[in-house]
């Protein structure tokens, strides 16, 4: 049997409204929705290598403008195309070992980019911005 503890927590109005809507849609108590979301958020995530973690931690010191720039960052089209070619070769089993190493490097770069973008968006959200897909399009 799981033990439950009462906790008082102040949350922003927009989060409460979002949780209330989810509770209404699912016909569940808002407390259950909040506990479920906490469970999803607090799962044990793998730890990052120290250099990657330091890079993400450093983002907290950036200006809002710098964070928006990172949030809008995209992998260069040439790299995206090359990665797609290599993924296709990999799926077909026709990739050479040097190409596999190149693919691994491109995938790693893409994952690091997504981590930076995600952290930048999380920080912007904490600073009161509402992230919408159209706000992430580069000018």
DSSP state letters, 47-78: PPPHHHHHHHHHGGGS-HHHHHHHHT----HH
pLDDT at 139: 65
Distance CA 131, CA 121 (A): 7
Report the mean per-residue pLDDT for the chain. Answer: 91
Report how far apart, in Å, the C-alpha atoms of 124 and of each of 10, 68, 104, 121 are: 19, 8, 30, 5
pLDDT at 41: 81
Q: Is the dihedral of CA 88, 90, 93, 95 positive or negative?
A: positive
**34: its two tokens:** 């909040």
With CA atoms as reference, report the closest residue to 124 among 85, 72, 74.
72
Query: Which residues does the chain have with pLDDT short of 70?
Result: 44-45, 139
Distance CA 48, CA 98 (A): 26
pLDDT at 45: 64
pLDDT at 3: 86
């Amino acid at each position: 049997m799981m033990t439950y503890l009462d906790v008082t927590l102040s949350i922003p109005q927009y989060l409460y409204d979002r949780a209330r809507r989810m509770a209404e849609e699912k016909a569940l108590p808002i407390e259950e929705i909040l506990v479920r979301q906490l469970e999803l958020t607090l799962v044990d995530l793998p730890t990052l290598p120290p250099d990657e973690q330091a890079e993400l931690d450093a983002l907290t010191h950036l200006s809002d403008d710098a964070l928006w720039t990172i949030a809008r960052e995209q992998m260069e089209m040439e790299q995206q195309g090359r990665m797609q070619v290599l993924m296709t070769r990999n799926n077909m089993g026709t990739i050479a070992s040097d190409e596999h190493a190149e693919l691994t490097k491109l995938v790693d770069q893409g994952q690091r980019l997504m981590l930076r973008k995600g952290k930048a968006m999380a920080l912007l959200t904490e600073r009161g911005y509402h992230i919408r897909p159209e706000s992430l399009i580069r000018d």
